[in-house]
């Protein structure tokens, strides 16, 4: 007996995901709106987040506002130290979205994350495909890291070989000394993957304390002279390059 194959439509999603893809809200917030009864599909109230819709054919309204797909936007931010990379924080700590407070932007989300103590280059977009491509591919990410001592050459080689840290095998694609003083130095570290607190954990395994950590580039896109807390739209050539 032949198995019947269902037709696949790339424009059909759950209502929760559709609202997110259309750039109106995150999936978490979209689900809350649906359950609260303010979401209508083709004029009918829908309270089931898993309800299937076609974003090209069905008309979705939220609080009587028709939801249409916004233009894709791509942003680079110089993240300051002390901000959490999330839309909202349950402990009411300041988030990276504090940097966009005075600007009228559609729903955007960070591409990956930087921890609270880390500064530097962070992308934002409303393009899920672009975000997924960046996070799933082995694009070089360059960091400048200030540490509390000056490593010997063999230590740098060991950092490139890597080691097990808890349940993760961590290593650097490349690492070199940028500049040094009498007791401290700056390293340039290249990663082509990014595990949880990757740089801090591996340096800690070799008894180096991180004093400052800044991401300065992703692929060909560099932080440049963008000031802390400031942002700009990416040029089309930059978007295409990455």
Domain presence at residue 7: no
Region 50-78: mean pLDDT is 91
Domain presence at residue 113: yes
Domain presence at residue 5: no
* 109, 124 contact by CB (below 8 A): yes
Q: How far apart (Å, rounded) are the C-alpha atoms in residues 143 and 178?
A: 11
* 145, 203 contact by CB (below 8 A): yes
**pLDDT value at residue 224:** 94
Give me the domain span that covers residue 182: 141-218
Q: How far apart (Å, rounded) are the C-alpha atoms in residues 18 and 11?
A: 9
Are 53 and 94 in the same domain?
no
**Domain count within the chain:** 3
115 in catalytic set: yes
Are 120 and 236 in the same domain?
yes
The percent of residues above 90 in pLDDT, for the chain, comes to: 73
Instruction: Tell me which DSSP letter residue 6 carries.
Output: P
Are 210 and 148 in the same domain?
yes
> Catalytic: which of 9, 36, 94, 115?
115
pLDDT band at 139 (very low <50, low <70, confident <90, very high): very high
Domain presence at residue 103: yes
Three-state SS at 17: helix
Q: How far apart (Å, rounded) are the C-alpha atoms in residues 150 and 227?
A: 28
* 122, 109 contact by CB (below 8 A): no
pTM: 0.78
**pLDDT value at residue 2:** 45
Are 106 and 211 in the same domain?
no
CA separation (Å) from 119 to 79, 84, 90, 191, 239? Answer: 5, 11, 22, 16, 22
- Read off φ and ψ for residue 129, nearest 5 degrees: -65, -45
Domain presence at residue 6: no
Q: Is the pLDDT of residue 6 over 60?
A: no
pLDDT band at 8 (very low <50, low <70, confident <90, very high): low
Domain presence at residue 2: no
Q: How far apart (Å, rounded) are the C-alpha atoms in residues 32 and 125?
A: 22
Residue 201: is it exposed, middle or buried by C-beta count within 10 angstroms (0-12/13-18/19+)?
middle
pLDDT in tens, 21-61: 887 888 888 999 999 999 999 999 999 999 999 988 999 99
Token digits of residue 200? 């801090």
User: Pairing relation of β-strands 185-191 and 174-180?
Assistant: antiparallel
User: Pairing relation of β-strands 119-125 and 210-218?
Assistant: parallel
Q: Which residue has the tokens 């491509």?
A: 133
β-pair partners for 141: 191, 218
Are 103 and 214 in the same domain?
no
**pLDDT value at residue 136:** 86
Identify the CATH number of the domain in which residue 99 sits: 3.30.70.580
Q: How far apart (Å, rounded) are the C-alpha atoms in residues 98 and 84?
A: 10
């Amino acid at each position: 007996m032949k198995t019947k194959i269902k037709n696949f439509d790339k424009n059909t999603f759950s209502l929760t995901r559709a609202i997110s893809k259309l750039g109106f809200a995150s999936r978490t917030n979209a689900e809350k709106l649906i359950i609260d009864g303010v979401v209508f599909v083709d004029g009918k109230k829908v309270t089931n987040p898993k309800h299937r819709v076609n974003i090209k054919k069905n008309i979705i309204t939220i609080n009587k506002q028709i939801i249409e797909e916004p233009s894709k936007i791509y942003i680079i931010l110089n993240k300051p130290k002390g901000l959490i990379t999330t839309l909202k924080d349950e402990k009411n700590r300041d988030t990276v979205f504090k940097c966009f407070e005075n600007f009228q932007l559609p729903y955007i989300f960070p591409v990956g994350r930087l921890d609270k103590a880390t500064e530097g280059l962070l992308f934002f977009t409303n393009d899920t495909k672009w975000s997924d491509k960046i996070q799933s591919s082995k694009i070089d990410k360059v960091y400048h890291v200030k540490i509390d001592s000056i490593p010997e050459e063999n230590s740098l080689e060991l950092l490139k070989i890597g080691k097990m840290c808890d349940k993760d095998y961590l290593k650097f694609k490349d690492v070199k000394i940028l500049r040094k003083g009498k007791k401290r130095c700056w390293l340039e570290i290249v990663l082509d993957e990014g595990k949880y607190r990757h740089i801090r954990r591996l340096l800690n395994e070799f008894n180096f304390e991180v004093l400052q950590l800044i991401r300065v580039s992703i692929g060909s896109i560099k932080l440049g002279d963008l000031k802390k807390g400031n942002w700009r739209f990416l040029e089309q050539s930059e978007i295409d390059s990455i």
